[in-house]
Amino acid sequence: MGIITHEDILLAGVVGAGGGGFPAHVKLSAHADIVIINAAECEPLLHKDKEILRHFSDEVLAGLATAMELTGASRAIIAVKEKYSDVIALLRDKLSANMSIAPLADVYPAGDEMILVYNVLGRVVPPGGLPLDVGAVVMNVETAFNVALSQDGPVTEKFLTVAGAVAEPVTLRVPLGISLGECVTAAGGPTVTDANYIVGGVMMGQLEDDLDAPVDKTTAGIIVLPSDHVVIRRQRRDWKQISRIARSACDQCNFCTELCPRYLLGHPVQPHLAMRSMGFNLLGEAAVLGASFCSECNLCSMYSCPEGLDPKAVYARKKAELAEKDEKWTDPSFNPRRPVLHLSDRQAPMARLMNRLNLTGFTNIGPLTKTTIATGKVRIKLKQHVGVACNPVVSIGQTVRVGDPVGDVPQSNGKPSLGAPVHASIAGRVTAVENDTVRIEKE
Ligand code: SF4
Ligand code: SF4
């Protein structure tokens, strides 16, 4: 094996595995002075990043070294919560001279890229900007693992934690395209009769009622909760309820803004203004355009608001409307110095957040099952990443082996569009090529 190249990473279909799905070959084409591995994993009950570090630290460090090489970075930092002392001790023994560890406080949202960059480097990414604007490239743990293995073959597997109301909370290694239901079964199944499923974490994940939905390259976890759980009740509120309660109950106490991590960084994110605009049915520029810079971390709704309102949902809706109209705040006001002073005091301690979310009764570990879970069929999504969907490159009846391409990135002006190819995760026969997925079944 030679030195890993951008081309290797593109062909392997490596994308950000921490939720974003940004194609790694593009991210690593930038020049940076530092690479940060984001191992903060601050969503309650998720453990896959720590488990990957515990079991595959050599691969993660190799991926990190490759990222440094490709971006020209002279140093690297692994940001991991201080409380995971075993992980820190394990890594310390293996670090190269230009790598170090940044121990993080046990707070939410420690893993938000902009908060992470500030906490680790003391640099403030401007509103709407990227860590690269301040010289940093941030990579998820699993992305680094996949980069390290990119010459061995494409990404066909995923690590994810299954937790909450399941018999055995666990971190699984699964073939991409396996159903959510099979993952829950592998965790011993639900322990409640009225199970609800959140894909991702309880703070930023989405409810999924279709247990046949496939796992993709960004699926970090599945959290199972009963119908009467506060998180589920909040998630099931529709816009009519959210807007009616917002109009009638917001007393403009301002807590949502005062505890908003992006506001504390100096970004023009002020959710209380969006809530005020609901009350008066007026949408001023600051109230609406600030929505573009909201990370949707959900802290304002799930933690800060004493009235149980949902300013994040209001901002998310405004953000989607702005994106649809392609409206941007091109020159937002930005004063990073004053508010950052408060950031360290105002992040949400994890214990308090878990308590607020009524999660303290669930087992908060997710030991890794190293053997890949077997399945007889998969649905490979043609878009598992930021950018454009792949075009299918297989047809019904075709036999495929693990790692064969099933979708490729379309060309635009003679160059590949932003995206990443997708591959067969089991050997078998293609049984359907649909708009958004390719089905493969074992023979
Ligand atoms: S914290 Fe709640 S009540 Fe206070 S301003 Fe924000 S949305 Fe309104
Ligand atoms: S979801 Fe709320 S707390 Fe998080 S960035 Fe948006 S406005 Fe701020």
398 with 264, same domain?
Answer: no
CATH number at 47 reads 3.40.50.11540
- Mean pLDDT along residues 290-302: 92
Distance 229 CA to ligand 1 centre (A): 22
14 with 80, same domain?
Answer: yes
**Residue-number span of the structural domain to which 286 is assigned:** 245-337
175-189, 236-250, 319-333: which range is least confident on average?
A: 319-333
Asked whether residue 369 is assigned to any structural domain, the reply reads no
CATH number at 382 reads 2.40.50
Distance 262 CA to ligand 2 centre (A): 7
Asked whether residue 361 is assigned to any structural domain, the reply reads no
Asked whether residue 368 is assigned to any structural domain, the reply reads no
Q: What is the pLDDT of residues 163-202, one digit of tens each?
A: 999 999 999 999 999 999 999 999 999 999 999 999 999 9
Q: Are the beta carbons of 73 and 34 closer than 8 angstroms?
A: yes
Nearest residue (CA) to ligand 1, atom 5: 252
Nearest residue (CA) to ligand 2, atom 2: 300
The structural domain count of the chain equals 4
Own/partner contacts of 226-231, CB < 8 Å, gap of 24 or more, are 226/165, 226/192, 226/194, 226/195, 226/196, 227/194, 227/196, 228/194, 229/196, 229/358, 230/357, 230/358, 231/198, 231/202, 231/302, 231/357, 231/358, 231/359
Ligand 1 site residues, Cβ closer than 6 angstroms: 250-256, 272, 275, 304-305, 307, 309, 311
104 with 197, same domain?
Answer: no
pLDDT at 332: 65
Q: How far apart are CA 16 and CA 200, in angstroms?
A: 14
Q: What is the pLDDT of residues 75-123, one digit of tens each?
A: 999 999 999 999 999 999 999 999 999 999 999 999 999 999 999 999 9
Distance 299 CA to ligand 2 centre (A): 6
- Mean pLDDT along residues 228-233: 97
Q: Residue 206: is its pLDDT beyond 90?
A: yes
What is the β-pairing status of strands 34-39 and 136-140? parallel
Q: What is the pLDDT of residues 378-428, one digit of tens each?
A: 999 999 999 999 999 999 999 999 999 999 999 888 888 999 999 999 999
Nearest residue (CA) to ligand 2, atom 6: 294
pLDDT at 336: 55
139 with 14, same domain?
Answer: yes
138 with 164, same domain?
Answer: no
pTM over 0.85: yes
**Average pLDDT of the chain to the nearest whole number:** 93
Ligand 2 site residues, Cβ closer than 6 angstroms: 260-262, 269, 271, 294-300, 311-312, 315
Q: Residue 337: is its pLDDT beyond 60?
A: no
Nearest residue (CA) to ligand 1, atom 3: 250
